[in-house]
Amino acid sequence: MEKFLIKGPTLKGVRGSLICSGAKNAALPLMASSILFDGTVTLKNIPFVNDVKTMSTLLSSLGSKVELFEKKKIIKITNKKKHKLVVPFKLISTMRAGVLVMGSLLGKYNKCSTAMSGGCSLGDRGIGFHLEGFKKLNCQYKLRKGYINIIAKNGIKGNTYKFPKVSVTGTSNLIMASVLGNGKTTLKNISIEPEVLDVIKFLRNGGAQINFTGKRTVKIHGVKKLNGCSHEVIGDRIEAFSYLCTAAITRGQIKINKINPKNLHTELNVLKKIGCSVSIKETSIEINAKKNLKPIKIKTSPFPGFATDNMPPLIAVLTKVKGKSEIQENIFSQRFQCVPELNKMGASISIKNNKAIIIGKDKLYGAECISSDLRTTFSIILGAIAASETSIVNRVYHGFRGYYKLDKKLKNIGINIKKIS
């Protein structure tokens, strides 16, 4: 099993620039929604991370023709025959986003059977909202032997559904299920994450009729078919923030290109508040971290709030900021899995209910750590590059699920990192 060997600290701070990858959290639902289209769809700026490769295999197993052009960052998906309607466990067990094919299969065929999905272990990330929404659209479902069997006997029928709590995958799933349905569907309290808006843009390009009637409300008029089209995936705001944090924790300087700063408005304000100098242009962000950063108190919340995915990297940064910082996690109950690993390095972080209390230290120390999810991997890496001596990070396959060419990008900005078996 692959590990990272990281020699810290990065004394002069990271220096350099990086091109932001396409957003994994947009690419996966875009690929899942391709089932709804007739003909060929072309997706550009694709990050060829492990989850994308798993989704490609999943779509191929269901009957799509999937062509990968990694050097060009392009995937072409063609639908010429009816898809299989059973999503096997072995292809969905490592990737939570696999649940998104439920909406597209239901939207296209009014029926599907899907194994329960995997991915990161982050507490209560159930799909109850999805299933209740499907019921509103005239579907019935049964859980049997680890599979969710869903059917709309008389087809998807438009209705109104309000999410009890904002759900990113739930929003995408219900939109996909509705675009080819009968009548009008109104979805309220939806997610407005940039990645969800990217999916809506893609579906509209193919002919879907989706219109916002409020900040978190969309009305969908079912159409008979979607036509193949091309679409460029937005830049990955989570990756961008993670690399900005490499400069913050090492008191360095970095520029991230090919990213929309508007999608990181709240996070950039946080970096400014702790004392980083932030410069933005239309498609780039540059930060210069000063020596004396300041503690902060923040809460995670749905977009446009501070993203839960960006919380673990920020925790790592705050371990090196003198004073008391607090982060309240309001999205996922087990998002603090980075904490015991950072504490191994000498950090002082305690958890009380859904709040992390961080007392900044002058020094962190190398340690052997183990990652348990995607964003924890980067949080541990941040601790390691700021720590004295050498750290070993185990189970780094989690990181490769979402960060394209992770170790190579880190090397490019001056980090002493080596992948070992």
Query: What average pLDDT does this structure show over 109-123?
Result: 69
pTM tops 0.85: yes
Q: Are residues 279 and 216 in the same domain?
A: no
The answer on pLDDT for 322 being more than 90 is yes
Q: Are residues 155 and 172 in the same domain?
A: yes
- Which residues have CB under 8 Å from 71's CB, separation 6+? none
Find how far residue 170's CA is from the centre of its chain.
14
Domain count for the chain, please give it.
Answer: 2
Q: What is the pLDDT of residue 119?
A: 43
Q: What is the pLDDT of residue 126?
A: 66
**Would you place residue 82 in the very low, low, confident or very high pLDDT band (cuts 50, 70, 90)?**
very high
Amino acid at residue number 262: K
Q: Are residues 328 and 355 in the same domain?
A: yes
Q: Are residues 149 and 250 in the same domain?
A: no
The answer on pLDDT for 151 being more than 90 is yes
The answer on pLDDT for 378 being more than 90 is yes
Q: Are residues 219 and 260 in the same domain?
A: no
Query: What average pLDDT does this structure show over 41-69?
Result: 96
Of 187, 204, 232, which residue constitutes the final position of a domain?
232
What are the pLDDT digits (tens) for 20-39? 999 999 999 999 999 999 99
**Would you place residue 349 in the very low, low, confident or very high pLDDT band (cuts 50, 70, 90)?**
very high
Q: Are residues 348 and 412 in the same domain?
A: yes
**Percent residues over pLDDT 70 in the chain:** 97
CATH number of the domain where residue 151 is located: 3.65.10.10
Catalytic residue among 112, 120, 139, 245: 120
Of 177, 209, 232, which residue constitutes the final position of a domain?
232
Q: Are residues 93 and 158 in the same domain?
A: yes
The answer on pLDDT for 123 being more than 60 is no
Of 187, 211, 232, which residue constitutes the final position of a domain?
232
Interstrand relation of 284-289 and 276-281 (parallel, antiparallel or unpaired): antiparallel
The number of residues making up the chain comes to: 421
Task: Take residue 79 and report the two structure tokens written for it.
Answer: 């639908």
Rounded Cα gap, residues 326 and 36, in angstroms: 44
| Mean pLDDT value across the chain | 94
Query: What is the gyration radius of the CA atoms in the chain, in angstroms?
Result: 21
Q: Are residues 189 and 283 in the same domain?
A: no
Query: What average pLDDT does this structure show over 130-159?
Result: 94
Q: Which of 11-20, 93-102, 293-302 has the lowest mean pLDDT?
A: 93-102
120 is annotated as an active-site residue: yes
The answer on pLDDT for 120 being more than 50 is no
Query: What average pLDDT does this structure show over 78-93?
Result: 89
Q: What is the pLDDT of residue 121?
A: 39
Q: What is the pLDDT of residue 116?
A: 74
**Would you place residue 124 in the very low, low, confident or very high pLDDT band (cuts 50, 70, 90)?**
very low
The 10 Å Cβ neighbour count of residue 238 is 23
Rounded Cα gap, residues 97 and 259, in angstroms: 23
CA angle 246/324/410 to nearest 5° reads 10
Q: Are residues 359 and 411 in the same domain?
A: yes
Q: Are residues 261 and 217 in the same domain?
A: no
| CA dihedral of 158, 209, 307, 410, whole degrees rounded to 10 | 130
What are the pLDDT digits (tens) for 279-309? 999 999 999 998 899 999 999 999 999 999 9
The 10 Å Cβ neighbour count of residue 61 is 16
The boundaries of the domain holding residue 324 are 3-21+235-420
Query: What average pLDDT does this structure show over 153-159?
Result: 96
| H or E element that contains 312 | helix 311-318
What are the pLDDT digits (tens) for 205-261? 999 999 999 999 999 999 999 999 999 999 999 999 999 999 999 999 999 999 999
What are the pLDDT digits (tens) for 354-364? 999 999 999 99
Q: Are residues 29 and 105 in the same domain?
A: yes
Q: Are residues 222 and 245 in the same domain?
A: no
